[in-house]
Amino acid sequence: MESSFIIQTLLLLLLQIICLAAGQVNYFPIFRCRDNGNFTKNSTYETNLETALASLSSAASTNYGFYNTYAGVSPNTVTAIAICRGDVGSETCRDCISNTVLLLRQNCINNIEALIWNSNCTVRYSNRTYASVVEARPSAKVSGSVNASDFDVFGKALRGLEGRLRSVAAGGNSLRKFATGDVGFGPDSSKIYAMLQCSPDLSSFDCNSCLSIVYTESQGCCDGKIDVGVFYPSCYIRYSNTSFYNNPPAIMLPSLPPSSTKSPAVQGGVDSEKGGKRKSSKSVYVIVPVACVFAGLVLIGLCIFMKKRRKNIAATKKESGTAFSSLVMSENQNHSANLAQVGSGITFEDLIF
């Protein structure tokens, strides 16, 4: 066990050296061994802890990188959660969780509650039940030593990127709330690469709130730094001037019915939803114009028909009016002729009668 720990420590140190040589800071793993109590060796709690942790790696790798489990009954219940990065594949997810569980047990030996953020996953356990709400503690803030040459330009570009990706991540579904993206800035078209992720059991509103808070903290602790990470148990933000994620994600999500709280998705953990909607979008694009053209033709034909009908009615009325006028004039002439023939033979009494 001791030799295994030494080997893992040396590998982590080697990885740190490689990342520094590449210009990117590797600040993983980040441990948080909570000091709110300890369990005794070979206790019921330790047995339940081993049971809960043992199921994480295989279950999370087959559940799109998220798994929540528990073992035992109160007061020795253990709840454990594993979340993999939204852009890694099943094998990478499984290996990360397995290695992180080992590190967790080696570094937080008898802590009742502990958490580790690793490069590709997060693992935590506790004697309390994890509710689907934002948890802000414990937290971690890390950054490199390099500053942006122009704080204002860098900050403006980062704010726009963070706002766009936050909307995407919060608009994810119950399997994944994750987003990545980049943006250029400055006269030399330098780039900022960012990654945002929430625990997928959070609501869209809570995810958005959590990401807003970690971004604000990143500006408070590390304003102007170009390689930063702020981590909560429920969400995190990372950004750097070098790319550190897979694009597109290694595992695409199945299409799920959209919820009323979802935001428009453009990238990251919701790419598959876009793909699932492309066919229906194309159908709409075809059907709507055809329907509009057909309705337009029907309307034009109806207008032409009504115009002709009005002309025919007007012509008919005119002919009827002319015939009626001729008939009235003819009758008046006949009546006048009859009166002339009768002449003075008509008496006053006849007129009264």
The model's confidence at residue 257, banded by pLDDT at 50, 70 and 90, is low
Q: What is the pLDDT of residue 301?
A: 63
Give the Å distances, CA to CA, from 143 to 151, 221, 236, 259.
15, 9, 13, 36
If asked whether residues 144 and 117 sit together in one domain, one would say: no
Lowest mean pLDDT among 210-219, 238-247, 319-328: 319-328
If asked whether residues 233 and 267 sit together in one domain, one would say: yes
Is 338 part of any domain?
no
pLDDT tens figures, 139-164: 999 999 999 989 999 999 999 999 99
Looking up tokens 């993999």 gives: 84
The model's confidence at residue 28, banded by pLDDT at 50, 70 and 90, is very high
If asked whether residues 233 and 145 sit together in one domain, one would say: yes
E strands present in the chain: 30-33, 66-71, 78-84, 114-117, 121-126, 140-143, 177-185, 190-198, 228-231, 235-240
**Residue-averaged pLDDT of the chain:** 77
If asked whether residues 122 and 213 sit together in one domain, one would say: no
Of 95, 126, 157, which closes a domain?
Answer: 126
Q: In which domain, by residue range, is 100 found? A: 2-126
Query: What is the number of other CB atoms lying within 10 angstroms of the CB of residue 226?
Result: 22
Is 8 part of any domain?
yes
**235 - beta bridge partners?**
198
**Quick check: 204 pLDDT over 70?**
yes
Local structure of 139: helix, strand or coil: coil
Q: What is the pLDDT of residue 20?
A: 40
* Cβ(60)–Cβ(97) below 8 Å: yes
Which CATH number fits the domain that encloses residue 92?
A: 3.30.430.20
Is 312 part of any domain?
no
Is 200 part of any domain?
yes
If asked whether residues 193 and 269 sit together in one domain, one would say: yes
If asked whether residues 151 and 272 sit together in one domain, one would say: yes
Mean pLDDT of the 45-60 span:
94
Is 145 part of any domain?
yes
Positive or negative CA dihedral for 117, 121, 127, 129? positive
If asked whether residues 38 and 61 sit together in one domain, one would say: yes
Is 235 part of any domain?
yes
How many structural domains compose the chain?
2
Is 307 part of any domain?
no
Distance of CA 11 to the CA centre of its chain: 37
Phi, psi (degrees; rounded to nearest 5) at 111: -75, 135
DSSP string, 289-300: HHHHHHHHHHHH
